[in-house]
């Protein structure tokens, strides 16, 4: 069987019936996941993906499914759909936004009264303005339940999700801020899950040379970006992992987008064209 030479990495935030920015409806998410499963795609763990980058074989149709921030709707809606189709995903959590408490109902439970899952702006307001992060974010009990079920693995997205590069502070203060943010996140992940991986996802996609150096000092070697226009290939840079955002569209959109990102001849042309449009540096 042929092995993959490139692996697309998908970027999600919300799966929710509350429409809005960076949100996929449960119906469209299920359409996409059902197609991936039926079409023979393997959803890799990050350990498998790290092996792929250094040349270990993975199936030709391999993919990584990621989620950013760790919203409650990932548990309520994404988790049961992934479980239904035997697919695996990754969630990068903001450790300072997660709390304790019992597991809440999810859509895979018959007759359950589901918790509200606001749109992205509603989540931001709950976290940043109303001190109600627990009402919109996953709890550690839910994260552990998803790990046990095999639907999600949990990795670092910092402790506070602060845009240190946008703060009116000195370079030295910025470096202290991101170093503290990562150190606190590592400590919480170790406390709550018993381990911390070498994988980090940059909040807002913000990073520079200082960020990368500090992340590596903290033990993070696999760094996920929000840069969509490049392929993750065998021998590729683990410090700059390309991901493309998933739209609120059914499976046919995802099938086309993967083809553009995955095809060895089309993908480089597509990435150069789109990167030029967006005034970004193209990847391989």
How much is the pLDDT for 263?
Answer: 82
Residue 1 scores a pLDDT above 70: no
Question: How does residue 11 score in pLDDT terms, banded at 50, 70 and 90?
Answer: very high
Residue 282 scores a pLDDT above 80: no
Of 109, 123, 51, 119, the closest CA to residue 79 belongs to 109
Q: First vs last Cα of the chain: how many Å apart?
A: 25
How much is the pLDDT for 274?
Answer: 84
> How far is 54 from 85, CA to CA, in rounded Å?
29
How much is the pLDDT for 266?
Answer: 87
How much is the pLDDT for 71?
Answer: 98
User: Across the chain, what does the average pLDDT equal?
Assistant: 96
Tokens of 14: 């919300």
pTM of the model: 0.96
> How far is 280 from 137, CA to CA, in rounded Å?
32
Q: What is the pLDDT of residues 120-145, one digit of tens each?
A: 999 999 999 999 999 999 999 999 99
Beta carbons within 10 angstroms of residue 125's beta carbon: 14
Domain boundaries, the chain: 9-278
How much is the pLDDT for 284?
Answer: 73
Report the percent of the chain where pLDDT is more than 90.
90
Question: Which residue is listed with tokens 């760094």?
Answer: 223
Q: What is the pLDDT of residues 32-88, one digit of tens each?
A: 999 999 999 999 999 999 999 999 999 999 999 999 999 999 999 999 999 999 999
Q: What is the pLDDT of residues 194-236, one digit of tens each?
A: 999 999 999 999 999 999 999 999 999 999 999 999 999 999 9
Question: How does residue 268 score in pLDDT terms, banded at 50, 70 and 90?
Answer: confident
Tokens of 38: 């039926």
Q: What angle do CA 151, 227, 3 make, to 5 degrees?
A: 55
How much is the pLDDT for 260?
Answer: 87
Residue 258 scores a pLDDT above 70: yes
Q: What is the pLDDT of residues 153-178, one digit of tens each?
A: 999 999 999 999 999 999 999 999 99
The per-residue DSSP string of 203-250 comes to GGG---HHHHHHHHHTT--EEE----SS--BTT--TTSB--EEPPS--
**9-278: CATH topology:** TIM Barrel (3.20.20)
């Amino acid at each position: 069987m042929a092995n993959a030479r490139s692996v697309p990495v998908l970027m999600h935030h919300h799966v929710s019936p509350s429409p809005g920015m960076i949100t996929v409806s449960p119906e469209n998410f299920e359409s996409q996941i059902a197609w991936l499963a039926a079409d023979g795609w393997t959803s890799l763990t990050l350990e498998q993906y790290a092996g792929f980058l250094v040349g270990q074989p993975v199936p030709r149709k391999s993919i990584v499914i990621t989620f950013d921030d760790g919203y409650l709707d990932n548990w309520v809606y994404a988790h049961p759909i992934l479980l239904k189709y035997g697919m695996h995903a990754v969630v990068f959590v903001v450790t300072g936004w997660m709390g304790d408490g019992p597991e809440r109902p999810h859509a895979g439970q018959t007759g359950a009264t589901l918790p509200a899952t606001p749109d992205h702006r509603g989540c931001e307001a709950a976290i940043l303005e109303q001190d109600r992060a627990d009402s919109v974010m996953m709890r550690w009990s839910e994260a552990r339940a998803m790990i046990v079920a095999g639907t999600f693995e949990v990795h670092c997205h910092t402790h506070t999700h602060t845009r240190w590069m946008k703060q009116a502070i000195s370079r030295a203060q910025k470096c202290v801020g991101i170093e503290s943010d990562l150190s606190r996140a590592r400590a919480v992940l170790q406390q709550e899950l018993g381990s911390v991986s070498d994988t980090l996802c940059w909040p807002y996609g913000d990073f520079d040379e200082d960020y990368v150096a500090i992340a590596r000092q903290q033990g993070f070697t696999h760094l996920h970006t929000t840069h969509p226009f490049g392929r993750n290939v065998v021998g590729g840079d683990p410090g700059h992992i390309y991901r493309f955002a998933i739209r609120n569209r059914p499976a046919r959109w995802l099938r086309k987008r993967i083809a553009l990102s995955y095809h060895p001849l089309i993908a480089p042309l597509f990435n150069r064209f789109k990167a030029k449009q967006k005034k970004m540096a193209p990847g391989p």
